[in-house]
Amino acid sequence: MNSEDSQNKAIETDFKPLEITSPRTAEAPGPNVGAECCSVDGKTKVKGAEEHEDAAAEAQSSYIPTALSLILLLGGILLDNLDMPWFTGYLRFVVYATAYVLVGWRVVWHAIKSLRSSFFNEFFLMSMATLGAFYIGEYAEGVAVMLFYVIGEHFQEAAVLRSRRSIKALIDNRPDEVGLVTEKGIINVKAKEVQVGDVVQVKAGEKVALDGELLSERSSFNTAALTGESKPDTKAKGETVLAGMINLDRVIELRVTSAYENSALSKILKLVEEAGSRKAKTQQFITRFAKVYTPIVFFLAVGLVLIPYFFVEAYDFNQWLYRALIFLVISCPCALVISIPLGYFGGIGAASRNGLLFKGSNFLDLMTQVDTVVMDKTGTLTEGVFKVQQVETVLDDKSWFLTAVAALESKSTHPIAQAIMAEAGQAYEQHRVEQVEEISGHGLKGKVDGKELLVGNTRLLEKFHVAFDPSLKEIVETIVVVAVGGAYVGYITIADKVKEDAPLAVRRMRELGVKRLVMLSGDKNSIVQKVAGELKLDEAHGGLLPQDKVSKVEELKAQGRTVAFVGDGINDAPVITLADVGMAMGGLGSDAAIETADVVIQTDHPSKIATAINIGKKTKQVVWQNIALAFGVKAIVLILGAGGLATMWEAVFADVGVALLAILNAVRIQRMKFK
């Protein structure tokens, strides 16, 4: 990754809104979000995502001039075909000119304004072609070109607004008010006014408005808005509940942990809206191509008018000008400029409905090129929750053994200590614990009920010269050995469980063409190799520090591989940044991992890695279908037009018709089902 790519992947990035070029509209074309932009009728300014409904209303009002123009055009064509003697001269010109002005004045105005900066653009091409048609008396065809072009713009605007609304409706329909718990009882207040640390009440069936810690004993939640999963998720007291989840069971209370604008749901909305700022290479190519292609076609059109003068005996200026105008209409790259970014935005929307957040359309493209997926173990391929697997002791009282160890471990915050305490239940609280000493990298020493205990790894017993069976070192799982009064008395094994869909994730990734699957972990190598063998991975390395993971990924990239790294911890942030595509587990993952990632998996399911690849492939497939359609039809009609075999009506289809087909094809991504 070069320095420019690294800068693009910085935690704090200045994003621009999604650009959908709409030449009919004002200076900032298209219905953009998150920045000041014009509305779809070119009049009213719209600021921010919250005013999309206003933009939709403005779009509907802009249909009126289009409808009037269509009526005038059809009426004019009907009168022409009926050969009405009174429908000639100035009256005929006024009818068609009125129809033209209703839909074309903004395009002509922007063509004039753009002469100062960019001479060859869609505004100029459309204006030249349609005004030229009026010059040679082809009024109906001049109006038709502009009218159908504007109708195409309406379809584009409707598609973009529909896509944005569907994403917003899917993700953000939080209640505006919440029930704030106060000394005087429950009072309704604006969600934006609630402070961190306040306690709010959520009734059964209500959607959670703010992130918080569950104060009630437990409840089940529908998390589909955040994760795409319909299966309810049961939360216990002390666990985090996120905005957007629906409370299914009972009335609960939450202690707010994030302000409204900083909630997980707000961040998701921001990511989705800003995703269009990072353009895919295909989009960048089309933008550059259009700048070169447009002037070439323009000069070819000029040549089509002038050159025949020197070679054709019965040269008719109007005839060759008509052919050149057809050439100009066909040359407009509208289908490409409109449908390609819309296709990528559709892919981002489809991903968000499947619990995946892409931070840019460029990462949709990169996912299709990934041939190596590197994954962390704990929290990514495994549950990340340690559980006691086996308790072995030479003591007669096995219950005392477990609860005494748990009593000493209660003085530690280590995940292994938490697992032992969970296994023992509340019974360990009956023991008296004193003189606790934590020995870094080894374990704990202390007195329980007056007896001296050593609890930790085998190195702890070696340090205090306690004899034990050397075969304990061969146990694959994490092992906690115990000595009482200077004598070895037993051990407890603890292991992390492989996630249920991890084998499915591996199989799907291989089906989608991922050639190498690698696991990197800080856990001890024996455990790592066991998990890798169970999942049939190609390569696995354990006992790694964060810098070691970086080195391993650098080695893979040096081999010419396109690498996606998937992790969840703060120690994974450096290697997530280094990978071609960094992916983070959003449910259990740390903020640092999520912030630096290019793709966030909201469900914590590793099978979503394959879903991300699949969505990327389908999106790219649709985009290239649109490119092939646009170039294919334009090439055919350009040749026919130059030879005088195509009229302006065929040109309209080659430009606007193809654009409409491309838009409909791009919108199709939103309806696709992904595993």
Positions marked catalytic: 376
Instruction: Look at residues 141, 160, 140, 164 and name the one whose alpha carbon lies nearest to residue 152.
Output: 160
Residue 304 near residue 298, CB atoms below 8 Å: no
Q: What are phi and psi of 444, to 5 degrees?
A: -125, 150
**Looking at beta carbons, which pairs linking 215-219 to residues 24 or more positions away fall under 8 Å?**
215/252, 215/253, 215/254, 215/255, 216/250, 216/251, 216/252, 216/253, 218/249, 219/247, 219/248, 219/249, 219/250, 219/252
* The two three-digit tokens of residue 388, written as one number: 């006691």
* The two three-digit tokens of residue 316, written as one number: 């008719």
Rounded Cα distance between 7 and 18, Å, is: 20
Residue 462 near residue 438, CB atoms below 8 Å: no
Q: Which residues contact 129 (CB under 8 A, 6 or more apart)?
A: 142, 145, 325, 326, 328, 329
As a three-state string, the secondary structure of 347-397 is HHHHHHHCCEEECCHHHHHHHHHCCEEEEECECCCEEEEEEEEEEEECCCC
As a three-state string, the secondary structure of 63-132 is HHHHHHHHHHHHHHHHHHHCCCCCCCHHHHHHHHHHHHHHHHHHHHHHHHHHCCCCCCCHHHHHHHHHHH
* The two three-digit tokens of residue 81, written as one number: 């075909």
Map tokens 């790219």 to a residue. Answer: 620
Q: Which amino acid is at 368?
A: T
Query: How many CB atoms neighbour CB 411 within 10 A?
Result: 14
Q: Is 31 helix (H, G, I), strand (E, B) or coil?
A: coil
Rounded Cα distance between 665 and 324, Å, is: 30
Using CA atoms, how far residue 346 sits from 146, 269, 329, 537, 538, in Å, is 27, 15, 28, 33, 34
Residue 78 near residue 195, CB atoms below 8 Å: no
Using CA atoms, how far residue 226 sits from 173, 195, 602, in Å, is 12, 23, 6
Using CA atoms, how far residue 543 sits from 376, 474, 519, 547, 588, in Å, is 12, 16, 12, 12, 22
Pairing of strands 487-498, 478-484: antiparallel
Residue 324 near residue 301, CB atoms below 8 Å: yes
Burial classification of residue 373, based on how many CB atoms lie within 10 Å of its CB (0-12 exposed, 13-18 middle, 19 or more buried): buried
What is the distance of C-alpha 234 from the center of its chain? 26
Burial classification of residue 319, based on how many CB atoms lie within 10 Å of its CB (0-12 exposed, 13-18 middle, 19 or more buried): middle
* The two three-digit tokens of residue 430, written as one number: 């009956």
The continuous run of DSSP H or E covering 139 comes out as: helix 139-171
The continuous run of DSSP H or E covering 554 comes out as: helix 546-558
- Beta-bridged to residue 461, according to DSSP, are none
Q: Which amino acid is at 474?
A: E
Q: Which residues contact 308 (CB under 8 A, 6 or more apart)?
A: 315, 320
